[in-house]
Structure 1
């Protein structure tokens, strides 16, 4: 019947849009969580900044914190814009649902009214008892009884459809009103964040103006930091190269031993000494992946690219990978720097084995090996692991130390001795 066709078509459309609705709701939830996480980072940055602005001397940490705040505020505004775009899609979708339900309700009511009019017009000629007794035989009479029962059930079902559709329509209108209120709230948030960003940019301009007055002292701080970082990176590379050299010697010794055993066996069996193809690793990558365990761990580390946890549970990046410009000076960072909470726990980002723990410039540094990959944790006040220890993902390995009054943790990822951008490996 026409009603059934209408119902089935609307049901099909409903199934098609349900998946999109779930995706939109999930996207909005994720954007809201991201926005809240960014706000927590902004608040932590302000907390750290308040602690370090009491002194008259401007520090590199203060400048990096303000720059990080500006970047985080821009990220939050971008997230709000994405949230509004998703909400607009949801509003459009819900508006369509309301229109479809209104059309559906109108069609159902027309169908029901037509059925009532038909029943009224034919009430006398289709008297139930007369209709049944007028049957030619018992079988026909039975079919007429079933017909009347089905007709009555159909009318009840149609009335239930109408009531259900009215309820769905009212619910959908309520959802649409809620979405429109949320959009208004997001617009207000966006305006508030833009005003806050303008104020922070003005604060940044004041700080940079203050920087020009302390240029000589600041240049010395930059040089000191650059020299310390260069010395630290040299020691890290030397440590990794030492590990590679040990692994390479071990692989070469094993290959020579295998050749010796093969030659001795051939001599004992009075046959020519076989020419054994060299199994010696040729590259650093082959050296570090030489054993099945190392190869498996390397592959596992690689497969988790983009989903590794951050080395601190709470924090924000103040210094990024690569060439970084500070005032008029440039610096090359082989890792990233987080600011975090006072004494925050520093954690391993993946399963591995501690290659070394050393102290330099009054701070501790931990290097963890993951097959051919290494992660380096810098600027620790204390450590809770030792060389040779096996560690698991998110295991605490130490606590964050302060630099110029701000709790900071440096983090590097290397493939062999080659530095990689950690941000492309960490989960967003």
Structure 2
């Protein structure tokens, strides 16, 4: 009986524990994401109001409202996940309450039986009769010990009933709080859905405006495409220059190695020692690998002239290893033009971007995303630009209003490069790009860490 009692008591202790830390952690993470999204939505609202003042910037308005809609959908999805977590918590807590009630009823039933037994055995006669009926003195001592432990067990049962009742009440309170929290969260979700409908109607309105301004929009798209190509051409020119310089230095290094080896061969030839001749043969074999042409300095990596030095190779590897975890170039700002080709709603026009464009207040601090060397600072087609090398990779920061670094300066992740400026539409923005030595551009959002 005592053993069963402790088994029940242990089960009550287990079920009275709070919901798993993982569930709480998941909800907290979602709430943090919600706060971040709300902050980004506030920034996009400010951007949209600003672009509305610029009557010619219909594209800017569309980009802002599309970003708002995407953020709003992410917010609603996050709230839906919170509701799912609360539903699971309510279900599990209901099971716990049922289990606690059942165990509490069992404890009360057994306690009631022990009280009835104690009542029937309350007279001294039954007590003495129980003792004197022992077969031996040792048996009598065991009976006294049993009676004492029985009384202690009854007291423990009473305490356990009080504790389990408290745990049950606490679990019921948690369940009630879960249900209230769920209703409140559903109300928030409903409000956001209504705002989403308003945003979508505003987007439809802007798209209809674009349809009536297709000639004007076409001119804007062509202007931005021309700017993109000029920027791309300028960057590729810088990359070719750096690649040629790296190849020149590598050829010089190999030429010096060859000259040094030729001198060693002449010395070895004049030496009649057979063992020295064998060493020379071995050395010639090694030099043949070097003279065979420019090869990769690291096994399993394709050749790159920008990785022929240890520093260049390490910079490339470090940059690659941090893919998906690079810091953002700005502390705030929303991506409203994404990487790649996008169709402009309401038109047959497509727009291409070699990077991401972030909307942010003019004068915001712009920082390097990784360790590297500044290879270019200056104006490219009217845009102040900083171009940084990270081994065989490059990062570009343009639409700047000022620059605080100099050419060939070594920078680290987080180094201030300058302040953000404006784009062609006159809006505060930063264009950020990542590419390699072959001129292949990558989606920066796949390299930067998730802000949420």
If the length of structure 2 is used for normalisation, what is the TM-score?
0.85
1:413 aligns with 2:437: no
Query: Equivalent residue for 2:448?
Result: 426
Preserved CA contact (<8 Å) 1:52 1:405? no
1:320 aligns with 2:338: yes
Change (3 A) 1:146 1:185: same
Query: Equivalent residue for 2:294?
Result: 280
1:375 aligns with 2:398: no
Change (3 A) 1:14 1:58: same
Change (3 A) 1:93 1:331: same
Preserved CA contact (<8 Å) 2:15 2:96? no
CA shift, 1:185, in A, is 1.8
Query: Equivalent residue for 2:80?
Result: 81
Preserved CA contact (<8 Å) 2:15 2:100? no
CA shift, 1:356, in A, is 2.1
The one-character-per-residue Cα deviations of 1:128-160 (angstroms, maximum 9, x if unpaired) are: 677668767775565455444433333333222
Deviates more, 1:168-177 or 1:153-162: 153-162
Counterparts of 1:129 and 1:391, CA distance in 2 = 93
Preserved CA contact (<8 Å) 2:339 2:356? yes
1:243 aligns with 2:242: yes
Aligned counterpart in structure 2 of residue 347 of structure 1, from 357, 360, 367:
367
Query: Equivalent residue for 1:5?
Result: 7
Counterparts of 2:307 and 2:161, CA distance in 1 = 68
SS at match of 1:387: coil
Unaligned runs of 5+ in 2: 270-276
Counterparts of 1:134-145 in structure 2, within 5 Å, are 143-145=142-144
Counterparts of 2:72 and 2:114, CA distance in 1 = 62
Change (3 A) 1:135 1:297: farther
1:386 aligns with 2:406: yes
CA shift, 1:345, in A, is 1.3
Query: Equivalent residue for 1:225?
Result: 224
Counterparts of 2:361 and 2:169, CA distance in 1 = 48
Counterparts of 1:139 and 1:9, CA distance in 2 = 36
CA shift, 1:300, in A, is 2.9
Change (3 A) 1:59 1:386: farther
Query: Equivalent residue for 1:294?
Result: 312
The one-character-per-residue Cα deviations of 1:11-44 (angstroms, maximum 9, x if unpaired) are: 56778xx7x7211111111111112211211111
Change (3 A) 1:302 1:134: farther
The one-character-per-residue Cα deviations of 1:191-238 (angstroms, maximum 9, x if unpaired) are: 211221111122122222222333222221111111011110111122
Aligned counterpart in structure 2 of residue 397 of structure 1, from 395, 412, 417:
417
Query: Equivalent residue for 2:273?
Result: none
Counterparts of 1:22-421 in structure 2, within 5 Å, are 22-124=21-123, 143-270=142-269, 271=277, 272=280, 274-275=284-285, 276=287, 277-278=289-290, 280-281=294-295, 286-326=304-344, 327-403=347-423, 404-416=425-437, 417-421=439-443
Preserved CA contact (<8 Å) 1:251 1:281? no
Counterparts of 2:139 and 2:31, CA distance in 1 = 65
SS at match of 2:407: coil
In terms of Rg, which structure is larger? 2
Counterparts of 1:284 and 1:244, CA distance in 2 = 15
- In the comparison of the two structures, how many residue pairs are matched? 425
SS at match of 2:366: strand
Unaligned runs of 5+ in 1: none
The one-character-per-residue Cα deviations of 1:100-128 (angstroms, maximum 9, x if unpaired) are: 22222222222222222222233337866
